[in-house]
A and B are shown apart, each in its own frame.
Chain A
């Protein structure tokens, strides 16, 4: 079973992170999923591919009734983001998927019908979770051409998809403990996967001005407190699009 932990909780409003899967195959990149609950409804971020579907359902069911989840947020279109959507549609035919509008025609190759997909236009949008206004924040070309992060201004949590991703996990916890020691696990990824320094720097400037307690990537570890700013500064100074 994947491990999970509570990131934020206040009344009916809660963020849960699902991390480290001890039984994951070596050839598969590990993922973190985040569940946001508010007043009896829930939204799940980047719920993963067909290979991890059973583990995700099992773990999420420990925290929430699957019936609560009627929305999914997809940061982009990659296989590890939501190639399991066809399996989810069998359980929940009316599941609503928020994703970058430019990927709708592509995502339909996984399955589903046009009405399942709610396209987010390039400038971003607000997603309503029982009165909680979540903000889809543009992160285009980081790395995907159509890419969004999800900000919760009440919980001060920013879900960042592949931004901040590290090619390591920590079976003992989900937080970055030592920023400098964490750099080697994320540097190669950001240099190689991200292609545009301009778009990367625009994102750093925008996010650097926001109030964020937790910065939550889909792979690796969560940045908390002062490490959020450390990460943004580090990324701003990193040269990306490097082919060696």
Chain B
């Protein structure tokens, strides 16, 4: 049989080039070994309330401060909301920024903004961080470079870079029978038979490759091999298998989407995924703020603390940038439905790993937690910081949409995060 399915290295390199990864870059990536910095974005969909989390205002009037008390943290003089006791107790291992602001007050636009570091416009859709990382750095260890847990989000895709750089979607890891869609061979098809099928397919494909050269064909060939690698590689398979973790550790993260998602995120980063975005939903508390947050924030607290602890113990934290953030904050004043509305004026985020010093609180807000009073940090600054940590040249321009578009436009890396 002609052209068995094997590592056709030349074709593979051709495919790589088409997928945006040139040879020198790939060699550089390989020589960096395990030192490449990865990123896990723990996203609080809907917007974390600054008052009920990292920036409580105990002195403010009742309708501002809300009903939750503040508690001391590991860092003397710094207080968090009582809803985040574990995170408070671990503040020596990460930094909090209390002075981030957005310019968008609608979820969809604010999410696109914070996922790309670029203000959304009516002209074209910017690629999000994960897609840029996928394009600039490419895959590692046979795993997709950009993974989203649990579901596809309209604001987290490759935009003008195209579907090849869209995230790989896992599904909900907190489901009882969790398995990633399309990742395992169909029932009843064993490895031997699958290899036979692939050899057969290669013999069918051999003809057209010779006859009609095109980027599409090279690219299909590349992804087909990547897919087979992913499906058959024990390492990749292992990465997605949460059952390989002890019940004790799974419990420690919490049996929630946030908890199991964070644990899956850690496994994926460990195995070679470059950027994981975990969506934890429910933060859009237009009504019943207290009731919702009393249940939701502890889920985050448990998962976030367990994640940092676990990553730290495994030595992963040094090479992983962990960001916990939402698309904006919540209104300082509680509304008539006992809720808080969208507030881009200021919000708090947590940053850990990849050389970020622990125990720092960057920036400050006014008495009502409404606007920054010190060290305002823009969304563009967050983007510049992320790209610098991941070793991506943010001044690089794409020429896809009829005008040059910089990977990051106008941001400055946050110096306090580079100790």
B is bound to A: no
Using CB atoms and an 8 Å cutoff, list the residues of chain B in contact with chain A.
none
Using CB atoms and an 8 Å cutoff, list the residues of chain A in contact with chain B.
none
